[in-house]
Structure 1
């Protein structure tokens, strides 16, 4: 990683971008793509300076952006003019630590010191005087406030002071349609297959800041491109393992969420099966595993048993031409239970199943994704979803989406509800938290498979190219980098928008500095023009 004692010359660079919290490079990648789209040549008339304290993250950034300048350091450890000439920066961007602002903490105690990085950003702005600013954080950043006895007051007073300092340094700050400083954008509205929502504080010394117009929508009447869905980033060749064969059975909360997903996304005739799954905890599954019924004894077991049990046998070829090959998601399959209608001719792999009362026949197989709930919100706070219907939920460093339930209904041992895979993936966090759930219905039998979504899937949900390399010796490090990243397509839209502004600043029209009646903090006045 480079760490020159004096800044290199910027005289030949038309665009100079400083990414203060570069991480895995989501923001940098999107802005670099925007620069190229605007006709810039990376490393020549486009200069990128990337700073990050994580060795793995800066290694990732250097691997994928070898033309950029890299500093392995905390931003408070560097003297800004030693990095870039003051007055030469076109865009200063970055996402200060959001951990101690986010609701995902579930009300855990807060330390003000761990929110300090946003103040360090102001030091860089004061020293370098960039033309444009792009600061990313969680929407809860607006409630940044004093911490008293370990608890935040959440009145937003410190956030307003922070904004006021930016204004005092000469920047016009974007407001949303409610007049609040900063604007909240969703990544799926700009082409990323994730529904991640983030707050962007956009500031300018030369223009009136605005947000880019969305490019994608779920509404066909919007005349925009359709959302990219979670199904587009899932590796459907990896079906996972049966939950009934796991050495560590899933938690009961997880089983309850699987059951809810079955009810929402599968044939109504699977409701009795969901009712059984919902009641099972780890000890129950272990007991089932200790007393598996061979398929040849199924008829006798159905007559004699009143409690759920597992059956092992071979995948069968049923009458009507159903083959023993594993079906694609969405295939219609046939299953018979508790009626003696098990197939006579069997071939293929063993298939365990939980039996329950009633016979089940033509069942449509649909996959769904189960994201993890937030700690403070109950079993079904994050709905499961069809990965082909919507973008992924927010990708975070904990990877709260990540349970792949493949023709077997399978989930992760976390907290969440069911949702469609035909929608954007929910927020991917820094730990593995998503699984794909898909009923596996063969000519007889029902199973549930489960696996976490892998980094190569969640990486693409964040908009990174498939060949983008995330460095790190552990999956934990890789997942953390992915979850902390700004979605690439959203970053590209913002970068292209900001770097091509031609809207005059409000101050150009003679607007003075007045007080915001709600906050009593100086703000640029809204001045009418003949174009309004």
Structure 2
């Protein structure tokens, strides 16, 4: 079987922010991302600083012509991390924007024009509930309806699709953040998700030495850096550190602190 040469294909990071996804892709492939797209000048400026060998487009993803920017070269990987705020439960009861929720339709534009060999989409787990919106609220009875239509259209373009919810801690990251990942391929090769390398410290897998224990966030925090107390007022923080901080903290944040103190300190 002929070996794939990633140097002959483009790698595109749509919705590129500061460059986190691009860094992961670079670590995995051993080469920089070729094209990064974001409408926000600040995001593009940060991405340029982190990825100077990438070609940047400070435009809406809808305004970028895939054929024009790819210039006839094949696309090996197209990565998509559309805005997740209007799916996430962390948004609370605020109205959602159906246009922002619809950003994932851009995947079909790329699939239909330049046909990336591999497409990866990352989002919050609630992405699967993508459906119609009425008066700023998702219609609960039709949850997931748009997601399945979107997926069917991608399949109709010749893509095989698999998706899973992955926990970052299971792969060595010091956070238990869970995310939805969808992989689509049109090259006939199997979709392979990575094997878990870590597990909770008390699990049988760790006790038997089959997996490493989850890492703690404490491992990556520089405890020597001065940090404003959660109990200080905004004025006190400004006086002590010369920075502006929002105080008092939001009610939900305080509740999370209380739960943490109860679980990790009191009990």
| TM-score grouping bracket, smaller chain normalisation | 0.7 to 0.9
3-state SS in 1 of match to 2:121:
strand
SS of the counterpart of 1:66?
coil
Gaps of 5+ in 1: 1-10, 37-41, 175-181, 251-281, 283-370, 385-416, 421-436, 438-532
Query: Which deviations, in whole Å up to 9, do the C-alpha atoms of 1:302-334 show, x marking residues without a partner?
Result: xxxxxxxxxxxxxxxxxxxxxxxxxxxxxxxxx
Matching of residue 379 in structure 1 with residue 255 in structure 2: yes
Alignment of 1:346-385 (within 5 A): 379-380=255-256, 383-384=259-260
Q: 2:151 aligns with which of 134, 139, 163?
A: 163
Higher relative contact order by CA 8 Å / sep ≥ 6: 1 or 2? Answer: 1
Alpha-carbon deviations, 1:414-455, whole Å to 9, x = none? xxx6554xxxxxxxxxxxxxxxx9xxxxxxxxxxxxxxxxxx
Question: Matches of 2:6 and 2:139 in 1, distance apart?
Answer: 48
Contact 1:136 1:201 in 2 (8 A): yes
More helix by share: 2
The 5-angstrom pairing of residues 306-345 of structure 1 reads none
Residues 1:128 and 2:114 are matched in the alignment? yes
How far off is 1:111 after superposition? 2.4
Partner of 1:21: 15
Gaps of 5+ in 2: 238-247
Shift of 1:380: 4.6
SS at match of 1:200: strand
Alignment counterpart, residue 33 of structure 1, candidates 23, 27, 33: 27
- Cα distance, 1:217–1:86 mapped onto 2, change above 3 Å: farther
Greater CA radius of gyration, 1 or 2?
1
Q: Work out whether residues 86 and 129 of structure 1, in 8 Å CA contact, stay in contact via their aligned partners in 2.
A: no
* One of 188, 191, 195 as aligned partner of 1:209: 191
Indicate conservation of the 8 Å contact 1:216/1:225, yes or no.
yes
Q: CA deviation at 1:383?
A: 3.7
Distance change (3 Å), C-alpha of 1:120 and 1:236: same
Once the two structures are superposed, residues 58-106 of structure 1 have per-residue CA deviations (whole angstroms, 9 ceiling, x without a partner) of 1111111111111111110111101114570011111011111110111
How big is the shift at 1:50? Answer: 0.9
- In the alignment, the residues of structure 2 paired with residue 28 and residue 66 of structure 1 have an alpha-carbon distance, to the nearest angstrom, of 12
Tell me which residue corresponds to 1:238: 225
Partner of 1:306: none
- TM-score, normalised by the number of residues in structure 2: 0.80
Task: Give yes or no for contact 1:19–1:92 (8 Å, CA) kept in 2.
Answer: yes
Residue 82 of structure 2 is aligned to residue 96 of structure 1: yes
Counterparts of 1:160 and 1:50 in 2: how far apart (Å)?
27
**Shift in Å at residue 381 of structure 1?**
8.7
> Contact 1:138 / 1:197 at 8 angstroms: preserved in 2?
yes
Separation (CA, whole Å) in 2 of partners of 1:243 and 1:107: 25
Map 1:144-223 → 2, pairs under 5 A: 144-154=130-140, 155-174=143-162, 182-205=163-186, 206-218=188-200, 219=203, 220=206, 221=208, 223=210
- Secondary structure of 1:77's counterpart equals coil
- Classify 1:50/1:224 alpha carbon distance in 2 versus 1 (closer, same or farther; 3 Å): same
Alpha carbons 1:93, 1:133 under 8 Å: kept:
yes
* Cα pair 1:243 1:249 within 8 Å, conserved: no
State the Cα distance separating 1:159 from its structure 2 match: 0.3
Separation in 2, partners of 1:242, 1:111: 35
The correspondence of residues 75-94 of structure 1 with structure 2, limited to 5 A, is 75-85=61-71, 88-94=74-80
**Does the 8 A contact of 1:27 with 1:94 survive in 2?**
no
Is the 2:48–2:54 Cα contact (8 Å) retained in structure 1? yes
SS in 1 for 2:155: helix
- CA distance 1:13–1:115, shift in 2 (3 Å): same
User: Is structure 2 residue 36 aligned with structure 1 residue 50?
Assistant: yes
Query: What is the RMSD of the two structures over their aligned residues, measured on CA atoms?
Result: 2.9
Task: Answer whether contact 2:96 2:136 (CA < 8 A) is retained.
Answer: yes
The aligned residue for residue 224 of structure 1 is 211
Change (3 A) 1:123 1:190: same
Per-residue CA distance 1:468-491 (angstroms, 9 max, x = gap) = xxxxxxxxxxxxxxxxxxxxxxxx
